[in-house]
Each structure stands twice: as C-alpha cells, then as structure tokens.
Amino acid sequence: MIIKINKFIEFLSQNSITFLIIVFATFINGQAHIIGNIIWLPIGAVTLCYLLFGFRVFFTTFLAITFSSIWFHNSEINVINWLLLVGTFSPLLAISRMKFFKLSIFLYGESLVFHT
C-alpha cells in the first residue's frame, strides 16, 4: 500500500512540476507575434518535461498549454486550437524520431544524459 501511495505522490509531483514549468515559460515568453519569436520557450519547456519525466506527463502538458493560452493569450475555453495540439505533439514526435533513427541518445537506462 505504501508503494502505491509513493508512486501516486511521485506521479502527482511530476505532473505539477510539468504544469508549473510550462505555464511559467509561457508567462516569461509573452505574447506570440505573427512574425514569430526568436526563441519560443514553451516548446523548449515541453521538450524538457518530456525528457525529464517521460511521456506520462502528456495530458498535463496539454492542460498546461491550454490554460496558458487562456490566461496569457486570451483564448476561449470552448475552442481547442490546432496550435495547442501541435504544441503538445511536436516535441513528442521529435523525440520519438530521434530515438527511432538513433540521432541522439537522451536516455541511458533510466537516467537522462546531458552531455554529448
């Protein structure tokens, strides 16, 4: 029973950290311009969360992008943009392609590799 509680607490803490990182990165980045930003921090934050916590934070990533869009970009809650889905799926697909074609080694066993 204690193991299940610890796993639930770990899952909850990973998802809450993911939510806070993505919302904070969106807040720092500010409003997206039509021309585009030089560095778009939310996609980097999403990629970081996928690399740190795995793909089990997918739903939290989608919720964080959606709420950030509502809070900081004045979107409506009843409309889910394609941009929200692309922002959730694009880092996931990029990491999956890199793993499939062996372009980069992100994970060595269960640990994350930061050096090249």
Q: pLDDT tens for residues 29-79?
A: 876 666 665 667 888 899 989 988 988 999 999 999 888 888 887 777 666
Name the H helices within the chain. Answer: 2-29, 41-53, 58-73, 82-100
Percent of the chain's residues with pLDDT above 90: 29
Q: Residue 83: its pLDDT value, please? A: 74
Q: Residue 13: its pLDDT value, please? A: 96
Prediction pTM value:
0.80
Arithmetic mean of pLDDT, 75-93: 78
Q: Residue 105: its pLDDT value, please? A: 72
Whether pLDDT at 2 is above 70: yes
Arithmetic mean of pLDDT, 1-16: 93
Q: Residue 8: its pLDDT value, please? A: 94
Arithmetic mean of pLDDT, 92-113: 77
DSSP notation for 54-79 = -GGGHHHHHHHHHHHHHHHH---TT-
